[in-house]
Amino acid sequence: MRLNNYISATGLCSRREADQYIIDRRVTVNGELAELGMQIGEEDQVTLDGNLLTPKSEFVTIAYHKPVGIICTSETGVEGNIIDAIGYPERIFPIGRLDKDSEGLILLTNDGSIVNRILRAENRHDKEYIVNVTRPLGKNFKSSMERGLDIYNPVKHEVQQTKPCVVKILSPTTFMITLNQGLNRQIRRMCSVLDYRIVRLKRERIMNINLGSLPKGKWRKLTPNELSCMLAMLDREE
């Protein structure tokens, strides 16, 4: 096994972060400073900052129905953080984000090896949302959203072009949108460009994982089939 995979398998960090620990000379193998790309076996002893590392025997990835008001941060000092809201007995962390004012599906895991894989592929896999706005949708709304819009990024102080997406009108004031892009507050900013205000935004699906009938505020473990299918999709995208 590659050393960065071994470190990531402890649930402590991602493979990329593990590489940085190695570069920073914080990792030893059998008492010797580790090198990037090292292969290790079951008998090798790996330490980080002098502490012996042991891979977890079992990983978990869960689907959570996030309510409005919960913040997708693993910082437990932040009021309303997602970790305290779930109360899972082991250390887990969110994969990606869903803003405080939105609800719906978010994934969390203790497997650092898959987090970066999902985040790296964020602009290539589908995420599906149901959106309610305050006034009836105009006849050009669907085509304008699907074609892509110029939205302003207040953090980078620049205009960004949204990628083509798929929109389905469900009612005069409700639509479903499928994105394969992960800009911050993207749907809200797209609607704002067209002079629509969102009153409810709910994420229903990430890749092959559906929210389904999972009650608000509850979580469930992904099934082995869901997890294997998701990882296979990521393999194809890398």
- Position 237 scores a pLDDT of 60
The tens digit of pLDDT for each residue in 150-193 reads 998 877 788 999 999 999 999 999 999 999 988 889 999 999 99
- Position 157 scores a pLDDT of 85
The tens digit of pLDDT for each residue in 94-121 reads 998 999 999 999 999 988 777 777 777 6
My answer on whether 158 and 191 are in the same domain is: yes
My answer on whether 90 and 201 are in the same domain is: no
Tell me how far the alpha carbon of residue 59 is from its chain's centroid. Answer: 17
> 26 is in which domain, residue-wise?
3-52
Distance CA 164, CA 147 (A): 5
Distance CA 23, CA 26 (A): 8
The tens digit of pLDDT for each residue in 118-149 reads 777 666 789 999 999 999 999 999 999 999 99
DSSP 98-133: --TT-EEEEEEES-HHHHHHHHHTTTTS-EEEEEEE
Distance CA 174, CA 96 (A): 25
| 3-state secondary structure at position 113 | helix
Tell me how far the alpha carbon of residue 230 is from its chain's centroid. Answer: 13
My answer on whether 19 and 115 are in the same domain is: no
Residue 68: phi, psi to the nearest 5? -60, 140
My answer on whether 117 and 138 are in the same domain is: no
Q: How confident is the model at residue 232 (pLDDT cuts 50, 70, 90)?
A: confident
Q: pTM of this prediction? A: 0.78
39 pLDDT more than 70: yes
The tens digit of pLDDT for each residue in 215-224 reads 999 999 999 8
Dihedral (C-alpha) 123, 126, 132, 136: value to the nearest 10 degrees?
90
Among residues 99, 101, 111, 150, the one annotated as catalytic is 99
My answer on whether 38 and 66 are in the same domain is: no
Distance CA 143, CA 125 (A): 21
My answer on whether 77 and 118 are in the same domain is: yes
Q: What is the CATH number of the domain that holds 31?
A: 3.10.290.10
Which of 52, 69, 86 terminates a domain? The answer is 52
My answer on whether 142 and 187 are in the same domain is: yes
My answer on whether 28 and 81 are in the same domain is: no
- Position 90 scores a pLDDT of 84
The total of structural domains in the chain comes to: 3
My answer on whether 189 and 228 are in the same domain is: no
Q: What is the CATH number of the domain that holds 232?
A: 3.30.70.580
Section 226-231 average pLDDT: 88
Residue 204: phi, psi to the nearest 5? -100, -25
Distance CA 69, CA 81 (A): 9
My answer on whether 202 and 131 are in the same domain is: yes
My answer on whether 215 and 116 are in the same domain is: yes
My answer on whether 38 and 21 are in the same domain is: yes
- Position 163 scores a pLDDT of 94
- Position 145 scores a pLDDT of 98
- Position 211 scores a pLDDT of 98
126 given a catalytic annotation: no
